[in-house]
Structure 1
Amino acid sequence: MVADNRSAVRKVLIITLLLNLFVMTLKAVLGSWTGSLSLLADALHSVTDSANNILGLIASRFSSPQPDRDHPYGHQKFEGVGALGIAAFLGIACFEILQGAIERILSGGKPVIISPSELWLLLIVLGINIFVTFYERHVGQQVGSPILIADAQHTMSDVWVTIAVLAGLIGVWQGQIFNLPQLQWLDIVLSFPVALLVFRSGWNVIKENLPWLVDEMAIAPEAIHGIVTQVPGVINCHEIASRGVVGRQVFIEMHLIVDAIDVETAHQITEEVENLLEERFSPVRILIHIEPPAYQSDQITYETESKSR
């Protein structure tokens, strides 16, 4: 049976939500004080951090792994849907950053004025982001939560964004000291790699969660066939299908040809098959269709689209 990790997930999301709200507010205030486009864009990125935490809390509320009458396969795909929501927020943030940078290039704006004390505050923000990233990733891997791992990926993009913004603002500060107004362009130029980092994070979240949501093959049928045919009494297995994520939850279906003269013997063979697969791919739910010894099939998996035509 799959462990219910929702309470641990909610605890982490609440802690990171409070930290992200603090970071977002601090960035927005500093961005307004200094007139920094990249810092205001970074604050917008942090808005998505908080929104992701709220989304994760909602998804976690409905993502119980335990089945019920209406959801006999459990509710874990709610977490995958939540992760895709994070990707959508990242896409919005990327668009907003690019739009703001282009508008500044075309229409210009007030120069950025930054002080050492404001740079030190940004270092504190960076430290908080780094803590949130590793904290979420550690707990997410520990309890097997895709929503925490996806959110940690998002926050890691925020770390790189803040580093880029901080580097640009240090350059702007040096330009103030040495009377080099050309360095004002650093604030705009660095907005573009920030947007690319945000986009990359969203794409990674999609790649990790979409196969699970569309029921992509979880385990190669050849691997399942090789394990199952080791069990005494198994003649062959075919029509093998699997979905889910190994280590999180896997569903396996197959037709099993057994050397059995009665139902009880066939049942014992299938029990051994299930135990072996459970030991290898736990947690796993297995559906086996029994067939008599005389049945023959060389097809261990479903035919490909090209063969079936």
Structure 2
Amino acid sequence: MVADRRSTVRKVLIITLILNLAVMGLKVFVGTVTGSLSLLADALHSITDSANNILGLVASHFSSPEPDRNHPYGHQKFEALGALGIAAFLGIACFEILQGAIARLIDGGEPVRIQGSELWLLLVVLGVNIFVAFYERYVGQRIDSPILLADAKHTMSDIWVTISVLAGLIGIWSLGFQWLDVVLSFPVALLVFWSGWTVLRDNLPWLVDEVAIAPEAIHDVVMQVPGVLNCHSIASRGLLGRQVFIEMHLIVDATDVETAHEITEAVEAHLEERFSPVRISIHVEPPRYHSNEISYSTGE
């Protein structure tokens, strides 16, 4: 049985949504007052933080681990789809940041006007971002939630964005280097892009049914069960430690159904102990059957 973690996920997402909205408001306020392009770009990044929280709440609502008639394998891919939505938001943010920076380089603009009080507000923003990122990562690792871990990565990128923007504004405030504002907009865009790529990379294996466990590892566990002669055509999908589905053909040393059933149940017990949570489908074959194919070949 897969634990239903949705209530915990929703609680964390609601808390971080409130904090992200506050952070976004502060950045928009300071960015508008100072005329800083890099800070307004950072505020755009924070808008995606809030949108991601809302998306995560929607995805979590539909990501029940329990199977039903229409979704016999459960609903957990909804959560992975939510993480891909986060990657899409990050791609949009990256484009908007680059577009604004290039326009400022071509057309110029008003100089940035920054004061010490506004820099202190940005330090508060930075502190909130750090809290949100570590809070989401801690809970995400504890309950193994991809939507929380993906959002924590996004917020972590926001921390580095805010640090770079803050450093640039300090340079403008203390040294008058106005060019820092536009120049720093480009690494902000790169950080946003990298964050989106890592989220996409981490969730694609679940959606495309990439192998979850090496067939050889499953074969080694199964061959430890008395009465098993061999197993082949082994396939697995899902995410290890979250939910795995295993299929195989099992050759047993039994000529009656009852004995074959007992051996099969022992195999399932061994696999559940080793790879839980796991759902297993086994096709039983008689002793005379032979196959050297542990899993499926790559093919040409």
| 1:268-307 matched pairs, under 5 angstroms | 268-306=262-300
| Structure-2 separation of matches of 1:236 and 1:5 | 37
What is the CA distance between 1:266 and its match in structure 2? 0.7
What is the CA distance between 1:175 and its match in structure 2? 2.2
Matched letter for residue 296 of structure 2? Y
Q: Gapped runs of 5+ residues in structure 1?
A: 177-182
- Deviations for 1:240-291, whole angstroms, at most 9, x for unmatched residues? 0000000000000000000012111111111111111111110000000000
* Paired position in structure 1 for 2:210: 216
| Structure-2 separation of matches of 1:51 and 1:37 | 21
- Deviations for 1:82-131, whole angstroms, at most 9, x for unmatched residues? 00000000000101111111000000000001001100000000000000
| Structure-2 separation of matches of 1:74 and 1:305 | 31
Matched letter for residue 7 of structure 2? S
Matched letter for residue 262 of structure 2? Q
| Structure-2 separation of matches of 1:280 and 1:97 | 47
Report how many aligned residue pairs link the two structures. Answer: 300
| Structure-1 separation of matches of 2:13 and 2:135 | 10
What is the CA distance between 1:302 and its match in structure 2? 1.1
The equivalent position to 1:225 in structure 2, one of 211, 219, 223, is 219
Matched letter for residue 204 of structure 1? T
- Deviations for 1:174-224, whole angstroms, at most 9, x for unmatched residues? 124xxxxxx100011011111101000000001100011000000111111
| Structure-2 separation of matches of 1:84 and 1:293 | 46
* Paired position in structure 2 for 1:190: 184
What is the CA distance between 1:50 and its match in structure 2? 0.2
> What's the secondary structure of 2:178's corresponding residue?
helix
- Deviations for 1:17-37, whole angstroms, at most 9, x for unmatched residues? 000000001100100000000
> What's the secondary structure of 1:194's corresponding residue?
helix
* Paired position in structure 1 for 2:120: 120
* Paired position in structure 2 for 1:243: 237
Query: RMSD across aligned C-alpha pairs, in angstroms?
Result: 0.6
* Paired position in structure 1 for 2:149: 149
TM-score in terms of structure 2 length: 0.99
2:50 aligned with 1:50, yes or no?
Answer: yes
| Structure-2 separation of matches of 1:144 and 1:292 | 40
| 1:1-309 matched pairs, under 5 angstroms | 1-176=1-176, 183-306=177-300
* Paired position in structure 2 for 1:180: none
What is the CA distance between 1:305 and its match in structure 2? 1.9
| Structure-2 separation of matches of 1:304 and 1:203 | 27
What is the CA distance between 1:144 and its match in structure 2? 1.2
| Structure-1 separation of matches of 2:298 and 2:185 | 46
| Structure-1 separation of matches of 2:141 and 2:65 | 17
| Structure-2 separation of matches of 1:100 and 1:261 | 73
| Structure-1 separation of matches of 2:198 and 2:264 | 39
| Structure-1 separation of matches of 2:162 and 2:299 | 47
> What's the secondary structure of 1:305's corresponding residue?
coil
Matched letter for residue 86 of structure 2? I
> What's the secondary structure of 2:164's corresponding residue?
helix
| 4+ residue segments displaced more than 2 Å | none
> What's the secondary structure of 1:74's corresponding residue?
coil
| Structure-1 separation of matches of 2:143 and 2:214 | 25
